Amino acid sequence: MSVTNGMFKINDLVLPYPDKGLKTARQQLVDSARNAQGEVVAQKINRRLIKLEGLSWKYLPTATWSAILNEIEKFEGLLTFYDARTRSFITRRVYWGDATDEPWEINPATGEVLVYMNCQCNIIDMGYED
């Protein structure tokens, strides 16, 4: 499995290569408590979940950012991405976190935004195996 011309594909949309600064957080959920001796008794829940923090682009044409925002509006989807642990492309069910942007280039005749700067979003693993 691979993603054509990108690192990430969500549903059928191949995302542009992100700018530097993307962080992949890996969270392990644990059910834990202390026993009568005060020792931690813990059990792993599910697999490690990923969160793509600060997925960002310094410059995006309006059409590209609009396509990403339309995917964000769907709330969840299937993300295919290159995983550092497995050294291969994997697919996970994810949902979108917050998204931000800055209008940059505006058509003075129509007020339409032509270019956005500092577009950013987060993608969070839902824990399902697809």
pTM reported for the whole predicted model = 0.82
**Tens-digit pLDDT profile for residues 27-76:** 888 889 999 999 999 898 888 899 999 899 999 999 999 999 999 999 99
Q: How many CB atoms lie within 10 A of CB 80?
A: 20
Report the number of secondary-structure helices (H) and strands (E) in the chain: 1, 7
